[in-house]
């Protein structure tokens, strides 16, 4: 998908002159499997939500995998790209910057409650522009209230800037079952173990082990999203058994893989 200069610097909504004064506007877009939305940003904050399908969302700060029970809050002006894993029915909520002042200043994975999902379904059917003192206006205000109550979730994988760490992260991304230790990487990179540990803590806020575990889990999420069996995913990620993978998954996300996608 080619992104025009106008769409990079302004919210992607119809009839912008009419809706720019509105605090909340919406857009519904259906994408085919494998579709990619190239790097862009919006003047408004955006809740990136898929009513159906799974998305991979990436920005300079990291990447997230997003099933229908989750969404990504993307603050105004933050550049990001999206890749569709399977067919995706995207439902975007755009929030005027002054109305988003109390929402997170960084991109975040957030939980989508049953109430919020229904509000989004109703909101994307609202004709623009709408009157503030109307049923549609009250619906949008309630939607905004729910956005302020979103729980932040651990679906983020921060990306380091240091080229040595990027080599490590690229290998794990290519081969998530790689079992190389910090000592192995120290030999490969020609630096000591403590330097790698210090760099990981400084650039990702995680230890090497935590980053690798998160990378494996997110890779597993993507494979599960396209229908791979838990046993195949577990073995591909280097776990000894499906139960070991499921236990790690539940510790990280609070539910089993099957419940996560339900």
Alpha-carbon distance of 55 to 237, in angstroms, equals 20
Is the pLDDT at 246 greater than 50? The verdict is yes
Domain match, 64 and 34 both = yes
% of the chain exceeding 90 in pLDDT:
46
Does any domain span residue 26? Answer: yes
* 247: its two tokens: 């236990």
Q: What is the mean pLDDT of the chain?
A: 85
Domain match, 135 and 222 both = no
End position of a domain, from candidates 95, 118, 147? 147
Mean pLDDT of 209-219: 87
Residues 6 or more apart whose CB falls under 8 angstroms from that of 168 comprise 185, 189, 196, 208
Residues 6 or more apart whose CB falls under 8 angstroms from that of 180 comprise 171, 188
Of 102 and 24, the one with more pLDDT: 24
Is the pLDDT at 140 greater than 70? The verdict is yes
Count other Cβ atoms within 10 Å, centred on residue 55.
27
Does any domain span residue 206? Answer: yes
End position of a domain, from candidates 147, 178, 197? 147
Domain match, 11 and 119 both = yes
Domain match, 47 and 139 both = yes
Which residues pair with residue 59 across a beta bridge? 62, 80
pLDDT tens per residue, range 166-188 = 999 999 988 988 889 999 999 99
Does any domain span residue 153? Answer: no
Domain match, 201 and 226 both = yes
Which domain CATH number covers 211? 1.10.10.60
Lowest mean pLDDT among 46-60, 61-75, 111-125, 191-205: 61-75
Instruction: Kindly tell me the sign of the dihedral angle through the C-alpha atoms of 168, 171, 176, 181.
Output: negative
Q: Are strands 80-95 and 36-40 parallel, antiparallel or unpaired?
A: antiparallel
Residue 165 contacts residue 159 (beta carbons within 8 Å)? no
Is the pLDDT at 3 greater than 80? The verdict is no
pLDDT tens per residue, range 51-97 = 988 898 988 767 888 888 889 999 999 999 999 988 999 999 999 99
Residue 99 contacts residue 144 (beta carbons within 8 Å)? yes
Does any domain span residue 119? Answer: yes
Closest-CA residue to 165 (of 130, 122, 195): 195
Does any domain span residue 197? Answer: yes
Q: Which domain holds residue 193?
A: 163-260
Domain match, 143 and 181 both = no
End position of a domain, from candidates 147, 171, 203? 147
Does any domain span residue 189? Answer: yes
Tell me how long the chain is: 262
* 243: its two tokens: 């139960």
Domain match, 130 and 180 both = no
Half-sphere exposure of 246 (CA within 13 A, CB side): 11
Q: H-type helices in 12-113, by residue range?
A: 16-19
* 249: its two tokens: 């998954």
User: Residue 7 — pLDDT band, cuts 50, 70, 90?
Assistant: very low
Residue 137 contacts residue 27 (beta carbons within 8 Å)? no
Per-residue pLDDT, 144:
92
Domain match, 181 and 80 both = no
Is the pLDDT at 21 greater than 90? The verdict is no
Cis peptide before 25 (omega within 30 of 0): no
Domain match, 11 and 141 both = yes
């Amino acid at each position: 998908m080619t992104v025009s200069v106008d769409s990079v610097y302004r919210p992607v909504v119809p009839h912008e002159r009419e809706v720019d004064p509105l605090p909340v506007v919406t857009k519904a877009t259906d994408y085919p499997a494998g579709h990619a939305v190239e790097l862009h940003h919006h003047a408004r904050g955006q809740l990136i939500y898929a009513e159906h399908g799974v998305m991979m969302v990436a920005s300079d700060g990291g990447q997230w995998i997003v099933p229908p029970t989750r969404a990504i809050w993307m603050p105004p002006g933050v550049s990001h790209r999206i890749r569709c894993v399977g067919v995706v029915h995207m439902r975007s909520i755009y929030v005027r910057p002054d109305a988003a002042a109390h929402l997170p200043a960084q991109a975040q994975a957030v939980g989508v409650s049953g109430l919020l999902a229904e509000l989004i379904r109703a909101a994307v059917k609202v004709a623009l522009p709408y009157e503030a003192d109307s049923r549609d206006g009250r619906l949008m205000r309630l939607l905004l209230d729910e956005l302020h109550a979103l729980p932040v979730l651990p679906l983020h994988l921060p990306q380091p800037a240091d080229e040595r760490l990027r080599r490590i992260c690229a290998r794990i991304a290519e081969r998530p079952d790689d079992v190389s230790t910090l000592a192995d990487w120290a030999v490969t990179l020609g630096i000591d173990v403590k330097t790698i540990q210090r760099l990981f803590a400084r650039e990702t806020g995680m230890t090497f082990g935590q980053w690798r575990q998160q990378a494996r889990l997110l890779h597993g999420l993507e494979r599960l999203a396209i229908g791979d069996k838990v046993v195949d995913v577990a073995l591909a990620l280097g776990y000894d058994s499906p139960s070991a993978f499921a236990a790690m998954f539940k510790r990280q996300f609070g539910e089993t893989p099957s419940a996560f996608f339900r």
